[in-house]
Structures are given as structure tokens and as C-alpha cells.
């Protein structure tokens, strides 16, 4: 596959990449946000045309979410996609959040609102907002109560902008249907063993 337009990148992200990240999340290839960043980078580089450059933690200066002058301030999105054929314009941007608790926004104590503020700043900035076609909020969580559709709808209402998109992936949810309570417990136990290694101390 060789994706050559931003529109087709968005379609890939909202369909095939969701399936790939779900597999990664359940199989143990994603244990934290850095893993999620790496997997998205991997999946995108496999399909994007060479004119696109994917970078992580790019510094965007002169912008802040704080109530003070933006002079000397900066923000760093998790991933960006730049189109070299369009004068190095930034076309897509990603903020990622992996919630380790067995709950989800809006009930979790895990901070996601700071990401919402950053996304709104990116898209409403006069210069950056003119370049960006879309910004994605990728939210990985595990919760038996809140479905992916419910979470996506809630977050979209919070973001409230046509250029802001949400990808919500619940580890307890299959592409169709849910894992049983027993399967959820077994999955948690198996994945915890993959991401936590004891080499000393008490048993």
C-alpha cells in the first residue's frame, strides 16, 4: 500500500489502524504510551508515501496552554506528519493517552484534559491551524462499563471542533462484542506479567 493523500491517511487511521492497535493492545505489544507511539509509527511507515515524514515530540514554539505570554513557550505533540511536497507543512498531528486504570474518561482520575487543551491550541492557532487538516486523540483504556462509541462521543463533545478526531480503543472490547469477565481478568494477569519483571527483593 502506498498512501499519497491526507484524506486516505485519515481513512487508514480510522479503520485499519484501529484494528492493528487493538491487536497490539491485547497481545502485549503496547504496555505504555511510548509503545503506542512506536506502534502507530510502525503501522504508518508501512503504508505512507515517502513524501510524508513522521516525527515524534516535535517542538512547536510560541504556543502554550497556560494563561501567560507564549513567548519562549512551546508544546510537543506525540506524533506529527509533514508533507514534503507541500513546503514542509504539518498535515496531521497525534496526541496519545494510555490509561492504566480499570476505568475511563470521564470517571478516571487519569489526566486527559491537558491533552484536550493542547489539541484545541494546535487547531486554533492561526499559523498551525491553517496547515493541519486534522488532529487525532488516540485513547487506549480498559473498562467494562464505557464502550468505545460512548467514550468517543463524550470526548468529541469536549473537543468540539470539526478538525479534531478521536480513536478510542478499549482492551476489554473486541471488534464486535466484548470479552467475558473471566477473559478480562485473564488478559490483565497475562499482560501484567509481560510488562513487570521482578529480579530481586521479596517474593
Tens of pLDDT, residues 14-45: 999 999 999 999 999 999 999 999 999 999 99
Output the average pLDDT for the chain: 92
Provide the 3-class DSSP secondary structure of residue 199.
coil
Residues of the domain holding 136? 6-195
Q: What proportion of the chain, given as a percentage, has pLDDT over 70?
A: 96
Is 201 a residue whose pLDDT tops 80? no
Confirm whether 40 is domain-assigned.
Answer: yes
Indicate if the alpha-carbon torsion angle 68, 71, 72, 78 is positive or negative.
positive
User: Model pTM?
Assistant: 0.92
Write down the pLDDT at residue 194.
84
For residues 188 and 180, the answer to whether their CB atoms sit within 8 Å is no
Confirm whether 91 is domain-assigned.
Answer: yes
pLDDT: is 181 or 107 the higher one? Answer: 181
Is 126 a residue whose pLDDT tops 80? yes
Sheet with 164-170: strands ordered across:
52-56, 79-83, 89-98, 134-141, 164-170
Confirm whether 72 is domain-assigned.
Answer: yes
Average pLDDT estimate for 152-181: 96
Domain total in the chain: 1
Least confident of 102-116, 143-157, 176-190: 102-116
Confirm whether 1 is domain-assigned.
Answer: no
Confirm whether 200 is domain-assigned.
Answer: no
Least confident of 92-96, 128-132, 192-196: 192-196
Confirm whether 202 is domain-assigned.
Answer: no
Cα separations in angstroms, 127 against 43, 60, 122, 131, 136 = 29, 11, 9, 7, 18
Write down the pLDDT at residue 69.
58
Interval 33-92: pLDDT, tens = 999 999 999 999 999 999 999 999 999 988 888 766 556 688 999 999 999 998 889 999
Write down the pLDDT at residue 197.
82
How are beta strands 89-98 and 79-83 bridged, if at all? antiparallel
Asked whether the bond before 12 is cis by omega within 30 degrees of 0, the reply is no
Confirm whether 171 is domain-assigned.
Answer: yes
Amino acid at each position: 500500500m502506498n498512501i499519497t493523500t491526507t484524506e486516505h491517511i485519515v481513512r487508514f487511521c480510522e479503520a485499519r489502524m484501529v484494528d492493528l492497535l487493538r491487536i497490539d493492545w491485547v497481545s502485549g505489544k503496547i504496555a505504555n504510551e511510548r509503545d503506542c507511539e512506536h506502534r502507530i509509527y510502525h503501522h504508518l511507515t508501512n503504508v505512507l508515501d515517502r513524501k510524508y515524514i513522521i516525527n515524534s515530540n516535535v517542538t512547536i514554539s510560541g504556543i502554550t496552554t497556560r494563561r501567560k505570554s507564549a513567548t519562549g513557550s512551546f508544546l510537543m505533540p506525540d506524533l506529527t506528519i509533514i508533507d514534503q511536497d507541500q513546503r514542509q507543512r504539518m498535515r496531521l498531528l497525534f496526541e496519545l493517552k494510555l490509561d492504566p486504570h480499570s476505568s475511563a474518561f470521564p470517571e478516571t482520575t487519569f489526566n486527559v484534559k491537558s491533552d484536550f487543551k493542547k489539541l484545541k491550541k494546535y487547531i486554533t492557532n492561526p499559523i498551525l491551524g491553517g496547515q493541519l487538516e486534522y488532529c487525532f486523540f488516540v485513547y487506549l483504556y480498559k473498562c467494562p462499563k464505557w464502550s468505545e462509541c460512548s467514550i468517543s462521543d463524550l470526548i468529541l463533545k469536549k473537543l468540539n471542533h470539526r478538525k479534531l478526531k478521536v480513536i478510542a480503543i478499549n482492551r476489554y472490547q473486541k471488534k464486535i462484542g466484548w470479552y467475558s469477565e473471566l477473559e478480562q481478568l485473564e488478559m490483565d494477569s497475562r499482560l501484567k506479567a509481560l510488562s513487570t519483571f521482578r529480579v530481586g527483593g521479596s517474593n
